[in-house]
Every structure is written in C-alpha cells, then in structure tokens.
Amino acid sequence: MSDALLGGFEQAPLQSSNAFRAALAVLSQPGEIRELQGALPPAPLSVAAGVLLLTLCDGTTPVHLAGGHDCAAVRDWITFHCGAPLVGAEAATFAFGDWTALHPLGRFAIGQPDYPDRAATLIVEMATLTATGAALRGPGIAEVAHLSLPEIAAFQANRALFPLGFDCFFTCGVWVAALPRSTRVEAV
C-alpha cells in the first residue's frame, strides 16, 4: 500500500468538525494555542498542519507548498486525501511551509478592496510555538496576548493593509495558533 493512502482521518465527519471548531477558535482568539490531532501526514508536514489541510482544503482549494514541503510524499498525500490542486504562490488560497520558505510574502494574494476574503492563508510550520514573545492586541483579545512569532515587522506591515492582507496559522507538532490580519502586533 502506498504511504499516500495512510494518515488521513479515520472518522472524517467527527474529526474534521472538531478541527474546524479549533481553527475558528484560534482565529477568533489570537494568541491561543490549541491541540489538533487525527492525521498522520508525511514529513515535513506537522500533525497540526495535516489536520488543517484535511479540514480546510478540497478539490476546489488551490494549495501552494513552499520549500521542503514541496516534495513527492506531501503532494501525493494531498492528492489522495483531499484532491486540492497544487499551484504557484500567486494563485494559492492556502500555502504551507516554514517562514523562510514562504518568503517573499508579497507573492501571496491579499484580497481586493471589494473582495478582501480572496486573500491567502499561510500555514507556517514553526520549530516552537509558545504564548510568549510579541504582544497581540485587537479583536478577540481582552487586553493583550502573546505569541512566539517568527518576526514582527512583516505582521505589522500586513496589519497596515487591513482590511486586505493575509491570515496565518502557526503549527508545531500537534499545536496550532493563528494571527488574523486584524491583529496589531507589537514588540515587547
């Protein structure tokens, strides 16, 4: 049996609905970190990134794989489990990779004034993910939250584009956090 056939959801309706709720929770509460389980994707995809992929992507969702994520094992896994078309960065709805591989960020869609929802969502694989570091303020945050971001300037520039701009999920192992474009990011 091909490895591409393994590692998907065993109970797709239940697991994808639980993962979708978790994804919405971290997007609506920037800085919160939640656990995502249920998929065993091929390396270098983390468990959390694989769960997001299975939950948010389908045959109509253009996916870009950056850097080491653009490998045969990951491409085959995506093709089998969700059928998402693999595209260049400019056409992506979702992009997967580490922070360095996703650069330059200007190649991803930021939406249009009439359609800000046509922006890309970046799934950034992180070596660590903690509720420390940059200060986050804005919708969904009572006062201030903290998140270990790969840098600050890019997210400040992205916030300046609001309501345009990209949104991000950060994954590390089974953990996920998010940073919507509406969040203000400050150095501490």
How would you write the pLDDT of the chain (188 residues) with one tens digit per residue? 467 777 788 888 888 999 999 999 999 999 999 999 999 999 999 999 999 999 999 999 999 999 999 999 999 999 999 999 999 999 999 999 999 999 999 999 999 999 999 999 999 999 999 999 999 999 999 999 999 999 999 999 999 999 999 999 999 999 999 999 999 999 98
Picking from 115, 177, 123, 117, the residue whose alpha carbon sits closest to that of residue 146 is 177
- The answer to whether the beta carbons of residues 61 and 70 sit under 8 Å apart is no
Thinking of the domain 3-186, which architecture would CATH place it in? 3-Layer(aba) Sandwich (3.40)
Phi and psi dihedrals of 51, rounded to 5?
Answer: -65, -45
Burial status of residue 135 (CB atoms within 10 A of its CB: 0-12, 13-18, 19 or more):
middle
What pTM was estimated for this model as a whole?
Answer: 0.96
Rounded to whole angstroms, what are the CA distances from 22 to 71, 109, 183?
A: 28, 24, 18
Cα dihedral 5, 35, 154, 29, rounded to 10, equals: 130
pLDDT for 1: 44
- The answer to whether the beta carbons of residues 92 and 70 sit under 8 Å apart is no
- The answer to whether the beta carbons of residues 33 and 62 sit under 8 Å apart is no
